[in-house]
Structure 1
Amino acid sequence: MWFDLLLAITNRMKTIKLPSAYTILLAIIVLVAGLTFVLPTGKYAYTSKDGSVTLTPQQAIGNTDSHLLPVPGSYENVKSNPQGFFEVVKAPIVGFYKAIDVAVFILMIGGFLGIVMSTGAIDAGVHQVLGSMKGKEQLMIPVLIFLFGLGGTSFGMAEETLAFYPILIPVFRSAGFDAKTAIGTIMLGAGFGVLCSTVNPFATAIASGFAGISIGDGIMVRVFMWVVLWAITSAFVMRYAKKVKNAPSEEMLEQADTATPEAMTGKQKIVLTMFTLTFVIMIWGVIPFKDLGITAIPTLSWWFDELNALFFVSSILTGLLIGMKESEIAGHFVNGARDMLGVAFIVGISRGITVVMNDGLIIDTVLHYAEAAITGLSSSIFVCVMFFLELFLSIFIPSTSGLATLTMPIMTPLASFANVDAHWVVTAYQSASGFVNLFTPTSAVVMGGLAIGKVSYGSYFKWVLPYLFIVLIVILLTLGFGVML
């Protein structure tokens, strides 16, 4: 009975058209500005981790240094500063200024992906994998899930997966499987990767930036989750594929002939090599090896300036190595950056919410109430509560970058109250956002993939529900026990 009710609710959600992320975030700015007229205003004393810098509550007014943490129990009321019409209008603009390093990073990533995707190298790579799996069709499932999972964890592969459904569904069908098998391989493969993002610039990088930590902080936890969920996702889809092969599903698509995959061109191999090398260098640049006790590998301590330069240079080198003309390099780079412009704007608008809360002197008031609520909670309970809170918010704010920009400045100080490292807050945030995007009917990726495969949402949700339950347990166990280590 509970399942029928849940299915009815999710089916109902399909018919509800939510406003765009921009409208939702602008509405939140207006709501928060209204709260500055109602809520009491106050500030905490702030201090650096080593105690070398300390600000009194009065001195902390106007402070935006994310490296300074609030001192528990030091909250004091201060004179109010309500935010009116002009402050609301300016908030997204000021927010964009304050988040310009993140916004530029997003555009650089977009430009790099624009050049890579224009060559068809990613598609060709998948075709090569399929060709090498001839006669071992069931083994292509964990291999493809591995590849899509890498795409998800490295650069947030999501919308890009829609191009693979028309390619892979006929291949899976001709191998004796059905459309749902292909959908599970693609959607769950990329989805679990995003959930376990390690260096995903649209989730981990943005959240870590606003949390005041490096992308590398907590990376081993997320790698552990990635390996576990890759095994679980592969087992889940393979189990279903075996069942389908023995007793074909009614939802199988009509038989489709598949052409023999063409060999990768030399240029595409160069592109894939540059693509891989760029992300390897990125990972090397951001991981604090010194803090992990590893001295054999130099710690570069890179952040947005260096990463922006990396993707900019890689874009140009990739184009030059495959013989692109200057105009082609510029054109593909600009087109790729243009595709990410909406994400950059979301980051700016989201940051505007924090601007209003800071200028209206209520952000510490919210922290004060939250401090009282979490007092006495163990670190395990705290991080799990944080996960469910992010889970709830991600339903209304589907943008991972927008959610990170909105919640990290508030959630990170709460972690310091509970003696929890900030990277656990980042992990809780991206786990929650990634989990919701595995099944939410408001996601264009979910509904688009199902539409291409001609699989109903109800059928997909019923099928994936046991998997979602297992994933939820893995997340909670990782957060709950990991934070105690």
Structure 2
Amino acid sequence: MTTSTESTPSTANDKAGLVSAIQSKFPSALTILFGLIIVMAALTWIVPSGEFDRVASESVGKDLPVPGTYHAVDANPQGIFDVLMAPIKGFYDPDSGTANAIDVVMFVLVLGGFLGVVNSTGSVNTGIARAMAALKGHEKWMIPIMMALFAAGGTTYGMAEETMAFYILIVPIMIVAGYDALTGVAVILLGAGIGVLGSTINPFSTTIAANAAGIPFTEGMDLRLIILGVGWLICTAYVMWYAERVRKDPSKSLVAEQQESNKDHFLKFAAAPDAVLTTTHKLILVVFIATFGIMVWGVATQGWWMAKMAVLFLASSLIIGVIGRVGEKGFTDSFVDGARDLLRVALIIGVARGIVVIMDAGHMTDTILNTSAEAIKGFSNILFINIMYWIEVLLSFFVPSTSGLAVLSMPIMAPLGDFSGVGRDLVVTAFQSACGLVNLVTPTSAVVVGGLAIGRVSYEKWLKFVWPLLLILSILIMAVLSFGAMA
């Protein structure tokens, strides 16, 4: 009597059901984020409230904390009403008039509408089909090329929120190439992320941090280039290894159970492999590609932010609608349907911002900063810079904004390096590396939670994919910082 090692259909269904049951027990992104709001609110009842005095800085353009001025302030513990109000204030704070995440949310919804109009013409999917046919056998080289482009954006101008415009383009390409949705997410999130981690002239990280530390941003450039170059090689090799593994055996994909669902979602307007690009398709593709190019130019050189980016995509939607002759009803229906597809992403971004709202209201961020600064006094230079790195890692979870954390921590942390024989440029490098690393995974970042939501990758799966890479990158960063401290 022989025993087959192959699964019977019923066994396979049982396994699929078990996987689905396990996944259903893991909370959704919205639940995780709201849970973090509750945790932060509870901490405001425990962590002492305090603040630093602040002075205006013309070079940085923001108020900087003054070292040695930390003092206690009246506690403002956050209650049930504050917890429920936090997601609302995450979008817009009616008390202060602060437009927290509402600009990012509006951009995401307009982006969704733009993509809905483009997809209704079939142009992009036909272009993808023709490109894949031309790249047959060489698809894997798209990964290093695209990751290099995203890294260039990250290291030069801090490419972050605007990457959300690329997921709907890159993820389908990866799926058609035989990879999975997670590969597409990794190309963008890790590509731009390693650029920010190894920032060179990024005005929102290196430049602000160096100004706040009182040094030229060019100091320490050599070590940052090493982190950027080696880090990019590590990230690219890791993504290519995973992608090739999935291509050879789709069951190895971390999102294997979503394979058919993702194909239906991302390729719902898929073209046949032998589809012909018409003149109309080509014109629409020119406008489509030019829109992204103009966006990068506007953000990098003209100071554009979410409002102007949204206007750009709205205008491009209208132009593509006219070229594609979709008609008034076809345009409005496809635009609304596209915006509806990204509504969940918009909600996640607003709720994520609510975590920061709770922390700011509870006056606990400066207390954490002051405690950290007091804890690292008197250490040797190598020990000092490595502990500094991990402190910045901790602070980055509470303050996901690179510019915000630079303004908050550098005026306090950089002078401490003087007493330990560590150059302020090395403190800046430790800051930007820590901030860049954490912003690959922190659930308080709209870039992370928004990108994962668009790519349909759960936070749980992303952590499972990226944790070995985070460990490798941390070892690299600590080695470079230690070398710099010895030099």
**TM-score in same-fold range (> 0.5):** yes
Task: Give the drift of 1:350.
Answer: 2.3
Give me the whole-angstrom Cα distance separating, in 2, the residues matched to 1:196 and 1:479: 21
Partner of 2:319: 317
Residues 360-408 of structure 1 deviation map (CA, whole Å, 9 limit, x = unaligned): 2223223323333455665566446655887xx7xxxxxxxxx986998
Give me the whole-angstrom Cα distance separating, in 2, the residues matched to 1:209 and 1:51: 13
Task: Give the drift of 1:96.
Answer: 1.4
Check conservation: 1:151, 1:157, Cα contact below 8 A.
no
Residues 443-479 of structure 1 deviation map (CA, whole Å, 9 limit, x = unaligned): 985689x9xxxxxx9xxx9xx89xx857853575368
Partner of 2:189: 194
Q: 1:119 aligns with which of 118, 121, 145?
A: 121
**Which secondary structure does the structure 1 equivalent of 2:303 belong to?**
coil
Q: 1:79 aligns with which of 71, 74, 79?
A: 74
Check conservation: 2:171, 2:183, Cα contact below 8 A.
no
Query: 1:278–1:445: structure 2 CA closer, same or farther, 3 Å change rule?
Result: same
Residues 116-168 of structure 1 deviation map (CA, whole Å, 9 limit, x = unaligned): 3333333323321232245xx2x232136646987998436557777568744
Taking the TM superposition and a 5 Å limit, the aligned residue runs for 1:168-317 are: 168-169=177-178, 182-183=179-180, 187-188=182-183, 190-197=185-192, 228=233, 232=237, 236=241, 260-287=273-300, 299-317=301-319
Check conservation: 1:28, 1:353, Cα contact below 8 A.
yes
Task: Give the drift of 1:76.
Answer: 0.2
Query: 1:228–1:264: structure 2 CA closer, same or farther, 3 Å change rule?
Result: farther
Partner of 2:45: 37
Give me the whole-angstrom Cα distance separating, in 2, the residues matched to 1:103 and 1:29: 19
How big is the alpha-carbon RMSD for the aligned residues of Structure 1 and Structure 2? 5.2
Query: 1:442–1:140: structure 2 CA closer, same or farther, 3 Å change rule?
Result: closer
Q: TM-score, normalised by structure 1?
A: 0.62
Task: Give the drift of 1:424.
Answer: 4.6
Task: Give the drift of 1:427.
Answer: 2.4
Code of the aligned partner of 1:95: G
Code of the aligned partner of 1:85: I
Taking the TM superposition and a 5 Å limit, the aligned residue runs for 1:47-446 are: 47-50=55-58, 67-97=62-92, 98-99=99-100, 100-133=102-135, 137=137, 139-143=138-142, 146=145, 154-155=163-164, 167-169=176-178, 182-183=179-180, 187-188=182-183, 190-197=185-192, 228=233, 232=237, 236=241, 260-287=273-300, 299-373=301-375, 382-383=388-389, 386=392, 413-419=408-414, 420=428, 424=433, 426-432=435-441, 445=456
Give me the whole-angstrom Cα distance separating, in 2, the residues matched to 1:105 and 1:366: 33
Query: 1:276–1:23: structure 2 CA closer, same or farther, 3 Å change rule?
Result: same
Taking the TM superposition and a 5 Å limit, the aligned residue runs for 1:446-457 are: none
Residues 327-367 of structure 1 deviation map (CA, whole Å, 9 limit, x = unaligned): 22222222222222222222222222222222222232233
Code of the aligned partner of 2:366: D
Flag structure 1 segments of 5+ consecutive residues without an equivalent. Answer: 1-10, 54-66, 170-181, 252-257, 288-298, 394-402, 451-456
Give me the whole-angstrom Cα distance separating, in 1, the residues matched to 2:239 and 2:82: 50
Query: 1:194–1:268: structure 2 CA closer, same or farther, 3 Å change rule?
Result: farther
Task: Give the drift of 1:417.
Answer: 3.6
Check conservation: 1:95, 1:349, Cα contact below 8 A.
yes
- Note if 1:25 corresponds to 2:42: no
Flag structure 2 segments of 5+ consecutive residues without an equivalent. Answer: 1-18, 93-98, 152-158, 210-216, 219-223, 253-270, 415-427
**Which secondary structure does the structure 2 equivalent of 1:261 belong to?**
coil
Q: How many residues are aligned here?
A: 388
Code of the aligned partner of 1:89: L
Query: 1:275–1:481: structure 2 CA closer, same or farther, 3 Å change rule?
Result: farther
Check conservation: 2:52, 2:70, Cα contact below 8 A.
yes
Identity %: 27
Task: Give the drift of 1:325.
Answer: 1.5
Give me the whole-angstrom Cα distance separating, in 2, the residues matched to 1:25 and 1:264: 43
Query: 1:239–1:424: structure 2 CA closer, same or farther, 3 Å change rule?
Result: closer
Code of the aligned partner of 2:50: G
Check conservation: 2:344, 2:453, Cα contact below 8 A.
no
Task: Give the drift of 1:92.
Answer: 1.9
Query: 1:442–1:317: structure 2 CA closer, same or farther, 3 Å change rule?
Result: closer
Code of the aligned partner of 2:279: G
Q: TM-score, normalised by structure 2?
A: 0.61
Code of the aligned partner of 2:40: V
Residues 428-457 of structure 1 deviation map (CA, whole Å, 9 limit, x = unaligned): 2333469xx9xxx99985689x9xxxxxx9
Query: 1:339–1:381: structure 2 CA closer, same or farther, 3 Å change rule?
Result: farther
Check conservation: 2:238, 2:469, Cα contact below 8 A.
no
Task: Give the drift of 1:224.
Answer: 5.2
Code of the aligned partner of 2:323: L
Residues 266-308 of structure 1 deviation map (CA, whole Å, 9 limit, x = unaligned): 3332333222212211211222xxxxxxxxxxx3122223222
Give me the whole-angstrom Cα distance separating, in 2, the residues matched to 1:120 and 1:106: 21
Code of the aligned partner of 2:438: Y
Code of the aligned partner of 1:142: W
Give me the whole-angstrom Cα distance separating, in 2, the residues matched to 1:271 and 1:343: 26
Give me the whole-angstrom Cα distance separating, in 2, the residues matched to 1:281 and 1:21: 32
